[in-house]
Homo-oligomer: A and B are copies of this chain.
Amino acid sequence: MGPGPSNVAPSVLRAMSAPLLGHLDPLFVKMMDEIKTMLRQVFLTKNEMTFPVSGTGSAGMEFCFVNLLEPGDEVVIGVNGVFGGRMVDVAERCGAKVTKVEAPWGRIIEPAQIAEALKGRRPKLVAIVHAETSTGALTPVEEIARLVREAGALMVLDTVTSLGGCPVRLDEWGIDAVYSGTQKCLSCPPGLSPVSLSPRALETATRRKSKVQSWYLDVNLLASYWGQERVYHHTAPISMNYALHEALRLVLEEGLEARWQRHQQNHELLKAGLQEMGVAIASQPGHQLWQLNAVTVPAQADEAAVRKKLLADFNIEIGAGLGPLKGKVWRIGLMGETSSAANVQTVLGALRKALG
């Protein structure tokens, strides 16, 4: 019940233990097609270039920036937690000139801030984190994406923690590049990063002047393997793709709307239970994540001792705060399989015990 990896359904674990197929085997190629189709359904997009990068969520972040950026490009990045900060670092390593739009940890990036940053600037892209895993805040994307499109820039979105846990509507919102992780609300083990590029973003990547600085993440090469040609690029993590295939099947079987609702309901149960104990959610009211709850550590409690006690006595992992929130919050994940009414009761009971 930390910030990920979340629990995984037994059928997903079983899927990984199937014997290996070759990465060019016709059966595996068929499975790749099904994964792409299901990912499009989960991202709510028609983007042809939708597939899992062979690395964890951070590799997906790097995938977006190395493919879209060339040295000297201007970018605007929203920073309201660890992952916004990481995007700045990654973009700078691509030689980009970064303008940061900052908000205090736990608060969202406001559309007005983006509008302000776009005044007199023509950045190549604007990037924000949808669900900040480090703070539990969900930044609304629709209005920001509209501003970015009007400014002629590409909109890049981190959906590592949002995908599968709350609405993510790529095409409706007009997102150009997106990456996610498997180990949060998709409830698949970590190791792959679902990504999607709009035709506009793909054109930017294919028409660039310089080669993409990463061979491993170059979409121009990956397109030949994940596209119709099936040209060998690298040996895909076969077993991880088995797991993702089954995890996506479960997401679609439950239905996106039903899944989002389940995440919302269990968040509200947790919040109400915490309130009874006099404990509050730390992140901005009205923008609190359902799947990842940043919980204010009560003044009298020993933050680390409580976490240790939960792990030792109840076999429950919850996360510590990061950066300015270190020692100030616990992060309780209710993501994917982990988001259940029973788990909410378990963690509330355990927390009550641990707080004495």
Contacts and interface: CB of A to CB of B under 8 A. Distances in A.
Interface residues of A, number: 54
Given A22-B317, A54-B59, A90-B215, A189 B238 contact: yes
B16 A216 contact: no
B235 A5 contact: yes
Contact of A54 (B8, B20, B90, B191): B191
B215 A214 contact: no
Stoichiometry, as copies per complex, reads: 2
A221 to B, nearest CB: 9
A237 interface: yes
A164 interface: no
Contact of A57 (B19, B212, B234): B234
B237 A23 contact: no
Nearest to A234: B58
A58 B23 CA distance: 14
Given A93-B214, A240-B237, A190 B5 contact: no
Nearest to A55: B55
Contacts of A49: none
Given A4-B235, A92-B211, A189-B238, 19 more contacts: A5-B22, A5-B238, A7-B20, A13-B16, A13-B239, A16-B17, A16-B239, A25-B311, A54-B55, A59-B216, A61-B215, A93-B211, A93-B213, A189-B239, A190-B235, A190-B236, A191-B237, A191-B239, A237-B237
30 contacts: A5-B23, A6-B20, A7-B19, A8-B19, A13-B16, A13-B17, A13-B18, A13-B239, A16-B17, A20-B183, A22-B317, A25-B311, A25-B317, A54-B55, A54-B56, A55-B59, A57-B234, A59-B234, A61-B215, A89-B215, A92-B211, A181-B235, A183-B238, A189-B240, A190-B236, A213-B213, A213-B214, A214-B214, A237-B237, A239-B240
